[in-house]
Amino acid sequence: MISPHAVISPSAKIGVDVEIGAFCVIEDGVEIGDHCQLAPHSVIQSGTRIGKNNRIGNSSIIGGLPQHITAQAPFGNVVIGDNNTLRENTTVHRAIKESNTTIVGNNNYLMVNAHIAHDCVIGNNNVLVNNTMLGGHVQVGSNVTFGGGSGVHQFCRIGSLAMLGAQSHVVQDIPPFMMVDGLTSRIVGLNLIGLRRNGRTAEDIKTIKSAYMLLYRSGLTWAEILDDFHEMYAAGPVAEITQFISETKRGIVSERHSTHSPLRMLGPDDSEREIIELRAAG
């Protein structure tokens, strides 16, 4: 059903069984796939292509111009995949250059006020909790959870199956499978629950834990760490981390450290908690 109060460009391409609420605005050249739902007051701007079965919340703006003081037309595009939910007031901006595209994959859930800036590339099955903000050119893998109020600096990368605590402020890359504490914005262990829920075996997790210890506890130089990862983990469950850290340009987020509360990782037979604190003697 299309509301008679919606404003739709004649050049827009609208799929079948699309619901468009009152006071929506759909600009020139927009493409919207089948079975999408656009809540009242949502705006889909030129340069946007949206796949099937997406839900766009009230007052969301998809395809806004990049927030960059030197940006000049012609701008790039926005491509949204299938089965995404973008709740109220979400914003997704076009790429700066005509040849580039801001991409949101499939099955993502963006909660209220989530913001994806120009030139971001977002994978699948991610959750961006309220007020999450991704700066320009951020890359996000799949199955990542962002706690409320998380902010990611431009050009940072977030590996798959990472989990960020609320109000994390990210200024370097976060390797796959890691958990970030929102208070310190540092690594505090592996996202063990996420790994198990995504089918990683106990043997896989044991190998990933060994790689974690090498990465954060070995005391080796960065060059030595990279050499060891390429030698020991070029294939198998850690290969994704090996490739990720080999390509980092900003460096990776460090582990949280406290002389009073050092952290250890739980073994495979321990409880569902990812980490515990070992209190200093005395």
Q: Residue 213: is its pLDDT beyond 90?
A: yes
Is residue 107 domain-shared with residue 247, that is, in the same domain?
no
Residue type, 134: L
Is residue 214 domain-shared with residue 130, that is, in the same domain?
no
Active site residue 82: no
- Inter-helix orientation angle 202-217/222-232, to 10°: 160
Please give the pLDDT value at position 71. 86
Catalytic residue among 21, 118, 147, 189: 118
Active site residue 93: no
Domain presence at residue 143: yes
Among 127, 155, 183, the domain boundary falls at 155
CATH number of the domain within which 40 lies: 2.160.10.10
- Residue 257 banded pLDDT, cuts 50, 70, 90: confident
Please give the pLDDT value at position 273. 41
Is residue 112 domain-shared with residue 207, that is, in the same domain?
no
- Residue 176 banded pLDDT, cuts 50, 70, 90: very high
Domain presence at residue 43: yes
Is residue 127 domain-shared with residue 200, that is, in the same domain?
no
Residues 6+ apart with CB under 8 A from 135: 117, 151, 152, 153, 154, 155, 156
Cα separation, 49 vs 269, in Å, equals: 47
Percent of the chain with pLDDT over 90: 88
- 111-170 pLDDT, tens digit per residue, is 999 999 999 999 999 999 999 999 999 999 999 999 999 999 999 999 999 999 999 999
CATH number of the domain within which 243 lies: 1.20.1180.10
- Inter-helix orientation angle 202-217/239-246, to 10°: 30
Among 108, 138, 155, the domain boundary falls at 155
Is residue 140 domain-shared with residue 202, that is, in the same domain?
no
Among 126, 155, 184, the domain boundary falls at 155
Active site residue 227: no
- 2-29 pLDDT, tens digit per residue, is 999 999 999 999 999 999 999 999 999 9
Q: Residue 92: is its pLDDT beyond 70?
A: yes
Asked if residue 183 lies in contact with residue 164, where contact means CB atoms within 8 angstroms, the answer is no
- 22-58 pLDDT, tens digit per residue, is 999 999 999 999 999 999 999 999 999 999 999 999 9
Give the chain's domain count.
2
Domain presence at residue 170: no
Which of 130, 148, 184, 126 lies closest to 138 in space, CA to CA? 126
Catalytic residue among 119, 123, 137, 148: 119
Catalytic residue among 64, 136, 141, 189: 136
Is residue 43 domain-shared with residue 145, that is, in the same domain?
yes
Expressed as residue numbers, the domain containing 32 is 7-155
